[in-house]
Structure 1
Amino acid sequence: MQAKRPTLTRCAIYTRVSTDQQAEVEFNSCEAQEDRIRSFIDSQEGYTVAQVYLDPGYSGANTNRPALQTLLADIVAGRIDMVITYKIDRLTRSPRDFYQLIEIFEKHGVGFISVTERFDTSTPAGRLLRNIMLTFAQFERELASERIRDKCAQRAQRGLTNGGLPPVGYTKEGGRLEIEPKRAATVRFIFEKYVETRCAHQVTIALRDKWHDRRLPDSFVLRVLKNPVVTGKVLYKGKLYPGQHKAIISEELFNHAQAIMAEPTRKSRLPSSPYHDLPYAGLIQCVECGSTMSPSHTDKLRPTGRQRYFYYRCTSTNHRGWNACGTRQISADRLDDMIFRNLLRISMDPLHVKNHMAALKNVLHNPYPKGIEPRPLSDALTPEIAQKSLQAYVKSCARKTGIEKALAVRQGIEKVFYSKEMISVRFRCGATVVGNAAPNEPISSADSSVTTASNSAVQKSERPAPEMETSPSLKLERMQNVEQIRAAANF
């Protein structure tokens, strides 16, 4: 029976000298170190030279050496079993770097030998020494962390911040915070508007209109409102210290805002009962007179008992009489039916979506208001993707009822403009859906309109709406970029 061949230990020879002059000295050159290491390898059974790594003229104060980096890459790749040097200081002169290198060797199962100092991690004594060194390395890291924490605490007590990006309203000059006038004005606006409205989302909406940026999140406003640095203080480990920087707002204003945030809040901004199930409450505006259309209801006695019907009524008819506005009111169920039936109908028509996508690309070539420039459409957004996303959203809303449906609607819809002739839905992403009464008009591939009947009779009756045969056509128009299109489809 053939004897099993012993496994060879693949050895890496690493040599280094600090200067070119040392590299030329006979007994201190890389070649002299290599010869001594080769003699050692020849004396060990099962050892073989896998690769020689030379760094002539490189300092041992750091690990930024080409041959050493190549050696580490080969170790990670599993090409080396043992690293052998003439002395430990040939590998590195930094204790911290040495500890880190030993940890890398240990992680990848690689041993280390210093020929002249008999440091050999393949022996029990060598492994004991290695473990002791790694313990000291961990101890040194913990000491360094403690020193950093102490330094940060001292800086905070002196009124200085500890690195990182400067908070909104400030810039850093020479390690100190200095007020940046333009952004500081934004901070003041946020606090004053929040105290006035008592709603962070209302502040966000105001900033979006001011900056023409519909993607600004509520988290930006909340981060500013919760940061005590704007009062001239420094926060560290939950403690406040007087800062060396100037305050943007007063402590009184900051504390007032914190008190408002600490107040118990409702889980939803939806109107209270009996209108909490109406998804468009507070979102509808009358096109004819510009007034808000607020929820209303009427109770009627039926054979089965008393039944309640809900409407959206133009508030001008409440203040100035029923004939003050021709819009008057619309059944809540009918408005919901108009919007979602047509969105579903659009989403089920591939040609309809395709035509809107083509029209959308043409719209994006038109000039925009100053300061708002559209980004190019992505080829990744196809009519098929837009159609599937719209279908998923509409079907998801259709399955929901009550508050769940109201929340889903309000997540995507920002405003609804209603009149007898037109319904316009503005989404939070910036997209707009417009419905026009167009009786007996066939579907056209040119404008992708939907056959509809006039809804002018809606306001003439307070009875609940019957099943609709047709409803206003809807058009998608003016989305500024791909992200907004996807947001419109997915909400």
Structure 2
Amino acid sequence: MKAAIYIRVSTDMQAEEGFSVEGQRQKLASYAQSQDWIIFDEYIDDGYSAKDLERPEMQRLLKNMEEKKFDVVLVYKLDRLTRSVGDLHKLLKTFDKYGVKFRSSTEIFETTTAMGRFFITLVGAMAEWERGTISERVRFGVEQMVREGKRPGGIIPYGYTQDEELVQEEAEIIREARRLYHTGLGYMSVAFQLNSRGLLRRGREWTAATVEYTLENPYYAGIIRLGSKTSDGTYVNSKRDERVNCIYGKGSHKPIFTTEEYEETKDLMKRRATGGYSKNKIYWFSGVLRCGRCGAAMFGRLTTKRSKKSGEVVRTQYYICSNKHANKSCSMPTFRQVHIEHLVNEYIKNIIKADSSMIESEMKSLTTKQIDVEDSVQLAKKELAKVLKRKENWQFMFVEGLISKEDIRKRIKNEEEIEQELRRKIAESKNNISGLPRLKTLMSYEESWQIANDEERKEIVFTTFEKITVNTNLTNVKGVKNKFFDAYIDEIKFN
């Protein structure tokens, strides 16, 4: 008979318990030899939980089973195969379907009778119960720590040392991020402002995601929270993929924001996310548009007229030179916003048309680089998942009294250092592919512009352009409905 050996190790600690890959391999090879079985292949899932069957080697084993490449599946213990009763039933049915036997080297199972099936199902149920009990104990211990205001582990947020001491310089940058957001800028625009002024996050650039995370994080208001809050007041635990109540506790660290300031920011984030936000976002080009005659800034204003035919109120956005508005010292006519939009889009189209060959080369280079970076990110994420699992097990051992308080501190600190380094690698890798070449950015500009809302268009302009200078040879413009007067872009400076 041909045997398929299946080996699973979920954590490094199992090596100490006799469940190491090599330990299982030797014992299973000896067992197969004692039965005069030929080992067809070894299927090893290193660092995977038995909560489901989504494991690479398990999937390969099932595929080879369909191809009838072996006659029996051999494991060290049943819980190496699965800890879920539902998955166990699926596997037993699959074994029957393809005429494959199942054998555990340390347990006596036979699946040809109803009693034998009942017994193996009972053992599987006990394994699932054990996994659930361990998970509940760990979660209970962690939640209790949070309620008592103690951090259950994890990386200390930017702005604090590993001892939770406030870093004053970093706290000022965080306060500045909040101030910029409250002026009406979006996450991307806040990130750009901070980066352009050299206010980096310990040498790394801000992104829209890190700005949003910082403003939403209650830790900066002196609150410890277990999980990331969702719209329904719960959080999703990614390790167990389940929705549980969000747990809060008052921390002992020095806050950067008051509770009132934090709630004010959260309220603003909610209003902006649901669309109930400021009308000043309708002026897409404010802040970057300049007059081509006098060099002054052009700002937006809104005209309101009632249609003679329908009676509906029609609002139109215009831009006017600030010198013309202030003292009539400039003769630049006003521009409708749609006119500026048209001029900018045409300008960009001309750049793309002139540099099409260069764009193709840039895109090929970027695609190759992006594949390499994504591979390294996936590898780092797998390593990170192992670290998080190890931390959970150390916490369980501490709750069970298997290791001392001093010992868990050392182990958790070591795991956190590894975790921080992995997260740094992931962030750096993503930054490497986020800084797209300018030409590719311009290629996607028109597509992004068409699907963006007012707020997003404002951010696209702010992050793409430093200055847009518009000009015309005309002075007195007599507007023709739905038509543009002769005008052009003098200059565009890109960020």
**How many Å apart are 1:326 and its aligned residue?**
4.3
Q: Does 1:460 align with 2:476?
A: yes
**How many Å apart are 1:286 and its aligned residue?**
3.5
Q: Which protein has greater RCO, CA pairs closer than 8 Å, 6+ apart?
A: 2
Q: Following the alignment from structure 2 to structure 1, what is the Cα–Cα distance between the partners of residues 297 and 122?
A: 79
1:290 corresponds to = 296
Q: Following the alignment from structure 1 to structure 2, what is the Cα–Cα distance between the partners of residues 181 and 50?
A: 66
Q: Following the alignment from structure 2 to structure 1, what is the Cα–Cα distance between the partners of residues 28 and 286?
A: 82
Q: Following the alignment from structure 2 to structure 1, what is the Cα–Cα distance between the partners of residues 116 and 59?
A: 21
Picking from 235, 245, 248, the partner of 1:240 is 248
Q: Number of matched residues?
A: 364
Q: Following the alignment from structure 2 to structure 1, what is the Cα–Cα distance between the partners of residues 492 and 309?
A: 44
2:212 corresponds to = 222
**How many Å apart are 1:137 and its aligned residue?**
0.9
Q: Following the alignment from structure 2 to structure 1, what is the Cα–Cα distance between the partners of residues 191 and 271?
A: 19
Q: Following the alignment from structure 1 to structure 2, what is the Cα–Cα distance between the partners of residues 334 and 71?
A: 60
Classify the secondary structure of the residue corresponding to 1:184. Answer: helix
The 1:242–1:140 alpha-carbon spacing in structure 2 relative to 1, beyond 3 Å, is same
Classify the secondary structure of the residue corresponding to 1:295. Answer: strand
Q: Following the alignment from structure 1 to structure 2, what is the Cα–Cα distance between the partners of residues 328 and 257?
A: 39
* Preserved contact between residue 287 and residue 297 of structure 2 (Cα < 8 Å): no
Q: Does 1:164 align with 2:145?
A: no
**How many Å apart are 1:82 and its aligned residue?**
1.8
The 1:168–1:391 alpha-carbon spacing in structure 2 relative to 1, beyond 3 Å, is closer
Residue correspondence of structure 1 range 5-20 to structure 2 within 5 A: 10-11=2-3
The 1:140–1:217 alpha-carbon spacing in structure 2 relative to 1, beyond 3 Å, is same
* Preserved contact between residue 230 and residue 247 of structure 1 (Cα < 8 Å): yes
Runs of 5+ in structure 2 lacking a partner?
Answer: 7-17, 43-49, 51-55, 227-244, 364-430
Q: Does 1:318 align with 2:325?
A: yes
Q: Does 1:155 align with 2:145?
A: yes
1:121 corresponds to = 111
**How many Å apart are 1:133 and its aligned residue?**
0.5
Letter aligned with residue 410 of structure 1: K
2:461 corresponds to = 413
**How many Å apart are 1:99 and its aligned residue?**
5.5
Classify the secondary structure of the residue corresponding to 2:123. Answer: helix
Letter aligned with residue 172 of structure 1: Q
Q: Following the alignment from structure 2 to structure 1, what is the Cα–Cα distance between the partners of residues 225 and 267?
A: 19
Q: Following the alignment from structure 1 to structure 2, what is the Cα–Cα distance between the partners of residues 227 and 331?
A: 41
2:39 corresponds to = 51
1:315-343 Cα deviation digits (max 9, x unpaired): 333333x2x23436445565445444444
Q: Does 1:249 align with 2:257?
A: yes
The 1:224–1:117 alpha-carbon spacing in structure 2 relative to 1, beyond 3 Å, is closer
* Preserved contact between residue 356 and residue 476 of structure 1 (Cα < 8 Å): no
The 1:312–1:461 alpha-carbon spacing in structure 2 relative to 1, beyond 3 Å, is same
* Preserved contact between residue 282 and residue 294 of structure 1 (Cα < 8 Å): no
Q: Does 1:472 align with 2:474?
A: no
TM-score, length-normalised on structure 1?
Answer: 0.54
Bigger drift between 117-126 and 467-476 goes to 467-476
Q: Following the alignment from structure 1 to structure 2, what is the Cα–Cα distance between the partners of residues 329 and 53?
A: 77
Q: Following the alignment from structure 1 to structure 2, what is the Cα–Cα distance between the partners of residues 252 and 392?
A: 40
Q: Following the alignment from structure 2 to structure 1, what is the Cα–Cα distance between the partners of residues 124 and 265?
A: 51
Q: Following the alignment from structure 1 to structure 2, what is the Cα–Cα distance between the partners of residues 431 and 406?
A: 19
The 1:184–1:376 alpha-carbon spacing in structure 2 relative to 1, beyond 3 Å, is closer
Classify the secondary structure of the residue corresponding to 1:223. Answer: helix
1:100-125 Cα deviation digits (max 9, x unpaired): 59959648625334699753233433
Q: Following the alignment from structure 1 to structure 2, what is the Cα–Cα distance between the partners of residues 326 and 471?
A: 14
* Preserved contact between residue 279 and residue 405 of structure 1 (Cα < 8 Å): no
Picking from 203, 207, 219, the partner of 2:194 is 207
Classify the secondary structure of the residue corresponding to 1:293. Answer: strand
**How many Å apart are 1:256 and its aligned residue?**
4.4
**How many Å apart are 1:429 and its aligned residue?**
2.9
**How many Å apart are 1:308 and its aligned residue?**
9.5
Classify the secondary structure of the residue corresponding to 2:225. Answer: strand
Q: Does 1:353 align with 2:352?
A: no
Larger Rg: 1
**How many Å apart are 1:135 and its aligned residue?**
0.8
Q: Following the alignment from structure 2 to structure 1, what is the Cα–Cα distance between the partners of residues 314 and 125?
A: 78
**How many Å apart are 1:150 and its aligned residue?**
0.9
* Preserved contact between residue 300 and residue 317 of structure 2 (Cα < 8 Å): no
Letter aligned with residue 252 of structure 2: Q
Q: Following the alignment from structure 1 to structure 2, what is the Cα–Cα distance between the partners of residues 319 and 292?
A: 11
The 1:71–1:185 alpha-carbon spacing in structure 2 relative to 1, beyond 3 Å, is closer
The 1:392–1:111 alpha-carbon spacing in structure 2 relative to 1, beyond 3 Å, is same
Q: Following the alignment from structure 1 to structure 2, what is the Cα–Cα distance between the partners of residues 35 and 339?
A: 76
* Preserved contact between residue 200 and residue 221 of structure 1 (Cα < 8 Å): no
**How many Å apart are 1:184 and its aligned residue?**
2.7
Q: Following the alignment from structure 1 to structure 2, what is the Cα–Cα distance between the partners of residues 268 and 160?
A: 37
Q: Following the alignment from structure 1 to structure 2, what is the Cα–Cα distance between the partners of residues 332 and 12?
A: 69
Q: Following the alignment from structure 2 to structure 1, what is the Cα–Cα distance between the partners of residues 155 and 485?
A: 59
1:123-145 Cα deviation digits (max 9, x unpaired): 43322211110011111111111
2:172 corresponds to = 185
Picking from 12, 34, 37, the partner of 2:35 is 37
Letter aligned with residue 251 of structure 1: T
Runs of 5+ in structure 1 lacking a partner?
Answer: 1-8, 24-28, 39-48, 55-62, 64-68, 86-90, 362-374, 398-403, 415-427, 438-454, 480-491
Picking from 311, 332, 339, the partner of 1:327 is 332
Residue correspondence of structure 1 range 45-194 to structure 2 within 5 A: 49-51=37-39, 77-78=64-65, 79-83=69-73, 91-92=76-77, 96-97=79-80, 100=83, 103=88, 106=92, 109=95, 110-113=100-103, 119-173=109-163, 177-194=164-181
The 1:356–1:297 alpha-carbon spacing in structure 2 relative to 1, beyond 3 Å, is farther
The 1:432–1:200 alpha-carbon spacing in structure 2 relative to 1, beyond 3 Å, is closer
TM-score, length-normalised on structure 2?
Answer: 0.54
The 1:343–1:302 alpha-carbon spacing in structure 2 relative to 1, beyond 3 Å, is farther
2:376 corresponds to = none
Letter aligned with residue 472 of structure 1: Y
Picking from 464, 468, 479, the partner of 1:429 is 464
Q: Which structure has more helix as a fraction of its residues?
A: 2
Q: Following the alignment from structure 1 to structure 2, what is the Cα–Cα distance between the partners of residues 72 and 308?
A: 60
**How many Å apart are 1:251 and its aligned residue?**
3.3
